[in-house]
Structure formats: structure tokens, C-alpha cells
């Protein structure tokens, strides 16, 4: 499996650190596309196939909930800030 570009990994880490601080994430939003460095998983909410890049593992709880972009934007929208919503809508 290829590694994600270091720029993407760094930007993701910076954004996540900004949003969750020193806590660990309990929900992770997965991509709709496989970019060649992602693992196929099943959304915890709707059971749709989505793709997760196993990076920044130190920022995630051990039993993290994996959800697709659609579920994030519908079922968890009230927990997202405007920047997160914009990024997720762009990734659909």
C-alpha cells in the first residue's frame, strides 16, 4: 500500500489538533474514494463502504467510530463547525 502524501498527513494532523486539542477522537470520518493508501471499511452508521487512511493513530481512541461523509453531514452535523462542514461537503 502506498503512503499518503506527507503534506496531506501534516495538514490533517494540524486540523485535527486544532479541533480536538489534546483529546483523542471518538469519531473519524472516512472518504468516499480510495486514493491508493486507504483501507476499505464499513460505516458504523449506514453500513456503506468507505475508506480510511490509517494515519495519526495517536490522536484516535482505540474503539473509534468510523463513519462516512454522508452520515457525518446528516447524523452528526450539529457536532461540526462551519469549516468542517465545508471541507466535508467539498469531499463528497
Q: What is the residue range of 63's domain?
A: 6-91
| The three grid cell numbers given for residue 42, joined into one nine-digit string | 464499513
Say if 42 falls within a structural domain.
yes
Say if 1 falls within a structural domain.
no
Overall domain count for the chain = 1
Q: How confident is the model at residue 57 (pLDDT cuts 50, 70, 90)?
A: confident
* pLDDT tens digit sequence for 15-27: 989 988 989 889 9
Long-range Cβ contact pairs of 85-88 (< 8 A, separation 24 or more): 88/29
CB 75, CB 65: distance < 8 Å:
no
Q: How confident is the model at residue 1 (pLDDT cuts 50, 70, 90)?
A: low
Amino acid at each position: 500500500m502506498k503512503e499518503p502524501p506527507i503534506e496531506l498527513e501534516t495538514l490533517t494532523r494540524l486540523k485535527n489538533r486544532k479541533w480536538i486539542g489534546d483529546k483523542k477522537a471518538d469519531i473519524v470520518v472516512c472518504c468516499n474514494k480510495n486514493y491508493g493508501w486507504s483501507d476499505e471499511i464499513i460505516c458504523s452508521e449506514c453500513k456503506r463502504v468507505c475508506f480510511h487512511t490509517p494515519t495519526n493513530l495517536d490522536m484516535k481512541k482505540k474503539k473509534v467510530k468510523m463513519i462516512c461523509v454522508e452520515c457525518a453531514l446528516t447524523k452528526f452535523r450539529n457536532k461540526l463547525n462551519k469549516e468542517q462542514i465545508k471541507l466535508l461537503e467539498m469531499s463528497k
